[in-house]
Amino acid sequence: MAAINHPLGGARRPIGLPLPSPRVNWAVAAALAFLLFAALLPVVQNSFVTSRGFDIQASQREQAQLRSQIALLEADVARLTSQSRIERRAQEIGMVPAADPIYVTVQEPGPAPAKLPAEYLPDPAPTPAPQDSWWKSLLSWRPW
Amino acid sequence: MSIQKARPTRRVWLPAFFLGLFGALLAARLVQLQVLQHAAYAAQARNELLGDSTLYARRGAILDRNGGVLVTSVDTWDLYLNTRAWRDAASRETTLQKVSEITRIPRDQVEAALASSPGVEIRIAVDLDYDLGQRLIEADLPGVVLLPNTARIHPEGDLAAAVLGFIGLDNTGLAGIEQYYNDILQGKPGRAVYERDTLGDPIPYGRYVATEPVPGDDLVLTIDRYLQRLAEQMLAEAVKEHGAAGGTILVMDPANGEILANATLPSVRYSTLEQDLASASEARSPFKNITVTDTYEPGSVMKVVTAAAAIDAGVVTPETTYVDNGVVDVEGVLLKNWDDGVYGEQTMTGVLQHSINTGAVFMQQKLGTRLFQSYLEAFGFGQKTGVDLPGEAAGFFRRPEDPGYSPVDVATQSFGQSISVTPIQMMQAIAACINGGNLITPHIVKARILPDGSRIDVQPTVVRRVISEATSDAVRRMMGEVVAQDPDGWGRNPAHYTAGGKSGTANIPVWGTYTDDQQIVSFMGFAPLENPRLLVLVRLDRNRNLLTGTQAAGPIFARFVDEALRYLGVPPEKGTRSSAR
């Protein structure tokens, strides 16, 4: 069988068809993205709220525990400063009730009242600047 | 081709009718359930789904005038066991064993509590320590339910228990300050609403709507815990020494009505509260503070009021004299002196010094019935003082318009019989006699501290002017003469301070008459004389040794004043070893 080694007459060489270029329909893409975002938003929000709720509940529990511990500590302080406890402790370290006290009458004036450190005193009132004499004020009118 | 139409036969329309009827009934039932009864079923569903619990607000603390804590609150737990939560015997056994170990409640007691109630959730303990509850929560045992609660702590023990009072299981005040200021102390409880599972436990992350509890205000009392302790110790010693059934030491600042100490016996004690409540009676009730709830006849202390009224009205002066014959005839009834003595010519100051009944009647008769009783009313007798303690009695004295009135009544009222008063009323009246003449409402709360730390001070309330300032000065000096004479050496005169005072010895009326073997003795005094800082009432009830007010109560007054004024930093006026430099 003879081989045909030339192009067939009459028959055109097939021309490649131009493929449609991949054009992105941005409007559709944006709509899809928006829908996707809208669908995910409640999930994200829910997750965020749940996580926050968990944190808040944990903080509330911690706050309640701290409040309770503060109250317990306050009660401990109150017990430790009660009169009976102070009396017991005083006896333990060898203190005894005071006998009849001796009062000393001093004829000299008492010490001057303690002064507050300067940082606790109110700011001193600003002293007004001395006013210029009238003839100096005239000089301000000079043109030079 | 023609379509043959099916004829409606019974085989068709009968099922169709019943199906239609069934559909209609179904629809009607749905309308009934979902529309007409929607609210009821929705509420029922909510009730099954949602649980709620009360979040107790922290009850405010009660402090003494210097900030010392008298009562405070700590968080606790109420422990319940839910028997339905145990799936098998092993689970039950483990839980009970662990609960008993942690709470230190004997296992038998826990079993007994479970057996005593057919319910599902059974209370095992109230006010369990906070730390123990935390350990139970960490142990995560099935069926263990812990509800938050608060408990009251009294760091000073039984000190001032009659004043402070106590609260019930529902955290509501039942007596004393706890009752009177319950609304202020208890705050506003919050509410937690949560979705729950079949066991009633909150579903994690389920809906949780809570109104936060608002803590109660703290109260600062006028009570000074040191003076209160001193008063209670002295009263207990005196009751024992004189074989008395009870007594009172009441201390007030006469200038502003602040009560500095209020010691009473019998009194509620926190350490024996359960037994006290079980054995409560009308005469001996842990709910009472007898300084405001119980009345008595004040006896001769009332002569001070009679003298103040007579001097203020201008019918006598401290130097006015009269002759005492030992007896006075009032409408045919002979009224004698307390010791049957005859004192001859006496001034009005002498009447107070010797406590002469006929002298008091002399002053009352000078005033006349109406004027004398109008002074009694002005001094606050027969009406409540308005002190901020619960259960105050008004007292009573018979007026001419009252049934059974006799002129003898008003005569005996002048020396403290036929008139019933409360100790707090007597304090208020005598305070007016020595503070310049103003009747001031006694009060026991000095300030409120709000949860934000701001403080609201309670200002003294002047009810009215009763006597003039000059009269008040005169009466104060007359009372000073009473103490200064100290004729019998029983020590009613303080060692280091000038003072004034008056004793009273009143027999207790029994079935309309007086008996000599039952009496109430008292001493009402103040110090220092010129600028009184303290007004003190010492009262002993039914002292078996039958000593008089001067003899039994006077020395207690003197010792108390010496100690209390030294504590308050008042320089001594006499009897000290001082050296001048």
Helix pair angle (A83-92, B225-242), 10° resolution: 80
DSSP state of B248: E
User: Within 13 A of B557's CA, how many CA atoms are on the CB side?
Assistant: 34
Checking DSSP bridges between strand B500-510 and strand B321-324, what pairing results, if any? unpaired
- What string of pLDDT tens digits covers the 581 residues of chain B? 556 666 767 778 888 899 999 999 999 999 999 899 999 998 888 888 887 777 778 899 999 999 999 999 998 998 998 888 888 888 888 899 999 999 889 888 888 888 887 777 888 888 899 989 989 988 888 888 888 888 899 999 999 999 999 998 888 899 999 999 999 999 988 887 888 777 666 676 666 767 888 999 999 999 999 999 999 999 999 999 999 989 999 999 999 999 999 999 888 888 888 887 777 777 667 778 999 999 999 999 999 999 999 999 999 999 999 999 889 988 888 888 887 888 899 999 999 999 999 999 999 999 999 999 999 999 999 999 999 999 999 999 999 999 888 889 999 999 999 999 999 999 999 999 999 999 999 999 999 999 988 899 999 999 999 999 999 999 999 999 999 887 544 578 898 899 999 999 888 776 666 677 788 999 999 999 999 999 999 999 988 887 888 888 999 999 999 999 999 988 888 876 555 44
Record: contact B153-A84, CB cut-off 8 A: no
In this structure, what are the phi and psi dihedrals at residue B142, rounded to the nearest 5 degrees?
-70, 140
Confidence class of residue A2 from pLDDT cuts 50, 70 and 90? very low
Q: Which residues of A touch B75 (CB under 8 A)?
A: 67-68, 71-72
Task: Report the alpha-carbon angle A82-A84-A89, nearest 5.
Answer: 95
What dihedral angle (degrees, nearest 10) is formed by the CA atoms of B177, B438, B537, B289?
A: -20
Find residues 108-127 of chain A whose CB sits inside 8 Å of chain B: 108
Q: Which residues of A touch B131 (CB under 8 A)?
A: 72
Record: contact A101-B566, CB cut-off 8 A: yes
Q: What is the pLDDT of residue B457?
A: 92
Residues paired with B419 in a beta bridge: B397
* A61 in contact with B, Cβ within 8 Å: no
Q: Which residues of B touch A57 (CB under 8 A)?
A: 205, 208
Q: Which residues of B touch A104 (CB under 8 A)?
A: 578-579, 581
CA nearest neighbour of B309 among B467, B83, B179, B186: B467
For B2-46, give the DSSP string: PPPPPP--HHHHHHHHHHHHHHHHHHHHHHIIIIITHHHHHHHHH
CA B423, CA B385: separation in Å to the nearest integer?
11
Q: Which residues of B touch A77 (CB under 8 A)?
A: 69
**Cα of B156 to nearest chain A Cα, Å:** 6
Search chain A and give the residue with CA nearest B215. Answer: A67
Cβ-Cβ contacts under 8 Å for B113 (sequence gap 6 or more): B122, B123, B124
pLDDT single digits (tens) A14-48: 566 666 666 778 889 999 999 999 999 989 988 88
Record: contact B74-A68, CB cut-off 8 A: yes
* A103 in contact with B, Cβ within 8 Å: yes
Q: Which residues of A touch B157 (CB under 8 A)?
A: 82, 84
Record: contact B157-A84, CB cut-off 8 A: yes
* A58 in contact with B, Cβ within 8 Å: no
Q: Which residues of B touch A106 (CB under 8 A)?
A: 580-581
Q: Which residues of A touch B225 (CB under 8 A)?
A: 83
CA B553, CA B70: separation in Å to the nearest integer?
28
* A41 in contact with B, Cβ within 8 Å: no
Q: What is the pLDDT of residue B489?
A: 47
ipTM at complex level: 0.76
Coil, helix or strand at residue B336: strand
Q: Where are the domains of chain B?
A: 225-444+457-567
CA B542, CA B554: separation in Å to the nearest integer?
16
CB B75 within 8 Å of CB B57:
no
For A45-94, give the DSSP string: HHHHHHHHHHHHHHHHHHHHHHHHHHHHHHHHHHHHTSHHHHHHHHHHTT
* B575 in contact with A, Cβ within 8 Å: no
Confidence class of residue A136 from pLDDT cuts 50, 70 and 90? confident
* A66 in contact with B, Cβ within 8 Å: no
| pTM of structure | 0.79
In this structure, what are the phi and psi dihedrals at residue B578, rounded to the nearest 5 degrees?
-120, 150
Find residues 19-58 of chain B whose CB sits inside 8 Å of chain A: 58
User: Within 13 A of B343's CA, how many CA atoms are on the CB side?
Assistant: 25
CB B53 within 8 Å of CB B146:
no
Strands (E) across B283-381 are located at: 321-324, 327-330, 333-336, 344-347
Task: Report the alpha-carbon angle B486-B299-B302, nearest 5.
Answer: 85
Record: contact B578-A103, CB cut-off 8 A: yes
Most B CBs within 10 Å, among A54, A103, A107, to test the B interface: A103
Write the class of the CATH domain B225-444+457-567: alpha beta
* A28 in contact with B, Cβ within 8 Å: no
Q: Which residues of B touch A107 (CB under 8 A)?
A: 580-581
Record: contact B576-A102, CB cut-off 8 A: yes
For B455-513, give the DSSP string: EEEPPP-EEEE-S-HHHHHHHHHHHHHHHHH-TT-S--S-SSS--EEEEEEEEEEETTE
CB B171 within 8 Å of CB B147:
no
Residue B486 backbone class (left: φ over 0; alpha: ψ -120 to 50; beta: rest) = left
Most A CBs within 10 Å, among B56, B150, B156, to test the A interface: B156
**Cα of A129 to nearest chain B Cα, Å:** 42
CA nearest neighbour of B445 among B170, B79, B184, B136: B184
CA A55, CA A57: separation in Å to the nearest integer?
5
The pair of three-digit structure tokens given for residue A32, joined into one six-digit string: 């899809």
**Cα of A49 to nearest chain B Cα, Å:** 10
